[in-house]
Structure 1
Amino acid sequence: MAAEPEGTPIWLDASFPDLEAAKTFYGEVLGWTFGESAEEYGNYTQAFSDGKAVAGLAPRMPGQEDWPTGWFLFFASSDIQAGTAKIRELGGRTVMDPMAVGDFGHMTIAADPGGVTFGLWQPGTHQGFEKQGEPGSYCWAEITTREPEKADQFFPALFSYDVKRMEDDAIDFKVYDLGGETVIGRMKMTEDFPPELPSHINPYFAVENCDDAVAKVVKLGGQKHFGPHDTPFGRFAAVSDQQGAGFSVIDLSTTSGDLPKIS
């Protein structure tokens, strides 16, 4: 498999106070199945859709009891040490210093100057997503921040993104392109967001039917925060699981309206 360009979203994982409850939740909402937990890696467990790796789940580790529950998006890195040094040079900070994960690869967890947490992943034997853009898998993400100017300076400098603006007076939204392909969005948080919600990256998972997925979320003790809402990109809703991890679900086949102009 060819290496993903630097800055490409490559993997997604989360740690949970109750791993078994998380597996039950995502198994029903997204149809995931799960591999054997790896005790030598803190019972890290891979999730699969149609037999293909789509995400990782793990229990909280000692010392992480106060960490917020949430999904971490990892970006491809060809040199984890150089990437981490660049994060610091650009005013970001490391939450977890670079470390080897067996022969699977190398990782670090960091935050931009506005507090958006993310990871770098330098692949070894684990190349990242085996499926994406289809029901049951990651398809999109948005850097959702109260300090968009900092994000717009930091991430393009870190990954050589081209920045384009969505022409919509209602929201402050930009997209970051890499090699001519749009890889992630950037949204400014408004007063509509709960004040206790920190800046973050919101992942989107593709589903067959948005309304059905939202109904399952609520039935299993999760929450619906927005939607379902029709857009030119698909019918989506913002939700969180029963342990507080936020994400969005989107039916990419159900679209409405004209695509917005990007400049």
Structure 2
Amino acid sequence: MGIAMELFYFNLHAPDLEKSKVFYKEVLGWEIGGGSLGGHVNNTNTPCGVGPGSTTNTVYFTTDNLKASMAKVEAECGKILSREFYEGIGPAAFCQDNQGTRFALQEPGTPEMKKHAADVKKGRKHGDLFFFSLPIKDEAKARIFYAVVLGWTFGEKGKGGGLGVENLKGPDGGLGCGREGHHPSLWFRVENIMDAVERVKGAGGSAGDIFDAPEGDMCEVVDDQGVKFGIVQPASGY
């Protein structure tokens, strides 16, 4: 197996930051405050935040050499959309793959951030990230792109059409084959799926039907500003 580029950070974007703070506190128990935009979540195992913007999600993957990783993206027919430098964190690049799916690359630029990037762990409590998924149409093209750019290796396709990444030490993730859209899906652990659905609705969001999967009971939901995400009551062993 190769060395996989791990999830560094993720953001849920919505127009109104203060509404996001209230919603995710109620539904996922997030304590939000701090960071340059005031939207950093302080009590999750996987560092994350909420911030002003559209209703899409952003995932950042760690690279120890941003310039070399950007060159791989372009060599595999992806694109570099923009560059950014985050004070106290380091340089980042916003990219899209060879099918239009968007993700970001982050090079840790300080000893503290390098330590954070090396100390990846999977969350096990209510509100932690359970799984991330990047939507793709062409499975063969995606396998090659993410193997070259992020060093990912994949198992067999699941019943739902997903490809799980085999060599991640941190939060689990994969590719959603045949999924619509160009932005990642984020799924979060909850202690009780029925209670979580009611909390989503009570906070002004909406929810689809609860469905069974090998990983547990799941439901796709939308917050009170139109941000889509998923909740999971994990099965035993997950």
The alignment partner of 2:166 has SS state of strand
C-alpha distance in structure 2 between counterparts of 1:7 and 1:150, whole Å? 18
Computed over aligned residues only, the root mean square deviation of the Cα atoms, in angstroms, reads 2.7
Extract unaligned runs of 5+ from structure 2.
none
Of residues 221, 224, 233 in structure 1, which corresponds to 2:215?
A: 233
| 2:234 paired residue number | 252
Q: Is 1:118 the equivalent of 2:103? A: yes
Amino acid in the other structure paired with 1:24: V
2:179 equivalent to 1:214 = no
Distance 1:200 1:165 in 2: 23
Q: Which residues of structure 1 form unaligned runs of 5+? A: 61-67, 191-196
Q: CA deviation at 1:91?
A: 1.0
Q: How many residues align?
A: 230
Structure-to-structure mapping, 1:126-205, within 5 angstroms: 126=113, 127=116, 132-166=123-157, 168=159, 171-178=160-167, 183-189=172-178, 198-205=181-188
SS at match of 2:195: helix
Relative distance call for 1:53 and 1:71 in structure 2 (3 A) is same
Distance 1:160 1:112, change over 3 A: same
Alpha-carbon distance, 1:77 to partner: 0.9
Higher strand share: 1
CA separation of 1:131/1:155 partners in 2, compared to 1, >3 Å: closer, same or farther? closer
- 1 or 2 for the larger relative contact order (CA 8 Å, sep ≥6)? 2
What is the CA distance between 1:121 and its match in structure 2?
A: 1.8
1:48-127 maps to which residues of 2 (within 5 A)?
48-49=42-43, 54-60=47-53, 68-97=54-83, 99-123=84-108, 124=110, 125-126=112-113, 127=116
% of aligned pairs identical? Answer: 23
Counterpart of 2:40 in structure 1 is: 46
Counterparts of 1:33 and 1:248 in 2: how far apart (Å)? 19
In structure 2, the residue corresponding to 1:164 is in which secondary structure? coil
Q: Report the residue type matching 2:140 in the other structure.
A: E
Question: Secondary structure of 1:34's partner?
Answer: coil
Deviates further, 111-120 or 197-206: 197-206
Q: 1:188 to 1:161 in 2, by over 3 A?
A: same
**Cα 1:244/1:149, change in 2 over 3 Å:** farther
1:222 corresponds to which letter in structure 2?
G
Q: Deviations over 1:19-52 (max 9, x none)?
A: 10111111111001122353xxxx24211227x6
Answer yes or no: is 1:15 the counterpart of 2:13. Answer: yes
